[in-house]
Amino acid sequence: MAGDCNGRRRQRPNILITGTPGTGKSTTASALAEATNLRHICIGDLVKEKNLHSGWDDELECYIIDEDLVCDELEDVMEGGGNIVDYHGCDFFPERWFDRVVVLQTENSILYDRLTKRGYSGTKLTNNIECEIFQVLLDEARDSYREEIVVALQSNTIEDISNNVTSLTDWIRTWQP
């Protein structure tokens, strides 16, 4: 149901783009936002800008996200619709927020190269490669959202990303609340 708890219906869809770091979430979300005039919300940036975390994890070299604060921050924006949320996790977002959940997937050798170019090493690199191998985020999405709104898309090349943006743009244009 594309609506909020007050029975109002969104006029534009909300999309979650998730996947292991390095699968092209931000690139895809930015291009899709540009093509559709939907708002791109990068959760990592939001967490930093609004201090929606409980500190820094030295081993994984990232902020420890406060999921409740993130959800509180986004509630009104998500009710309004027209958002593309970009984050490497998905199980803490309310199911009612999303009309489509996109899980980007990348071949392991390509992902390894992308992550090492970003400076990932040690535990952080291993954890992310294993996450992709075992399709952790696809399973998380399927466990957290209705099966019919979850779609897995390959994101190995620029052409894949372009095709994904085109197919998602077409979906947005035909979406009905």
Over the stretch 37-61, which tens digit does the pLDDT of each residue have? 999 999 999 999 999 999 999 888 8
Q: Name the residue among 43, 36, 37, 39 with its Cα closest to residue 167.
A: 36
Q: What CATH number corresponds to the domain at position 59?
A: 3.40.50.300
How confident is the model over 137-170, as pLDDT tens digits?
Answer: 999 999 999 999 999 999 999 999 999 999 999 9
Considering the domain boundaries, does residue 43 fall inside one?
A: yes
Considering the domain boundaries, does residue 4 fall inside one?
A: no
Residue 124 has pLDDT above 90, yes or no: yes
Residue 125 has pLDDT above 90, yes or no: yes
Residue with tokens 């998905």: 90
Residue 26 has pLDDT above 60, yes or no: yes
Residue 5 has pLDDT above 80, yes or no: no
Q: Name the residue among 144, 154, 166, 136 with its Cα closest to residue 24.
A: 154
Q: Name the residue among 125, 102, 124 with its Cα closest to residue 113.
A: 125
For the residues 125-132, what does the mean pLDDT come to? 96
Q: Are 59 and 123 in contact (CB under 8 A)?
A: yes
Considering the domain boundaries, does residue 1 fall inside one?
A: no
Considering the domain boundaries, does residue 29 fall inside one?
A: yes
Q: How many distinct structural domains can be found in the chain?
A: 1
Considering the domain boundaries, does residue 64 fall inside one?
A: yes
Considering the domain boundaries, does residue 171 fall inside one?
A: no
Q: Name the residue among 37, 29, 173 with its Cα closest to residue 102.
A: 29
Q: How far apart are CA 84 and CA 113, in angstroms?
A: 26
Q: In terms of pTM, does the model score above 0.85?
A: yes
C-alpha distances in angstroms, 55 versus 10, 63, 69, 92, 134?
35, 6, 13, 19, 28
Domain with 26 in it: 14-166
- pLDDT-above-70 percentage for the chain: 95
For the residues 96-107, what does the mean pLDDT come to? 98
Considering the domain boundaries, does residue 177 fall inside one?
A: no
Considering the domain boundaries, does residue 8 fall inside one?
A: no
For the residues 106-126, what does the mean pLDDT come to? 96
Least trusted range by pLDDT, from 7-11, 61-65, 105-109:
7-11
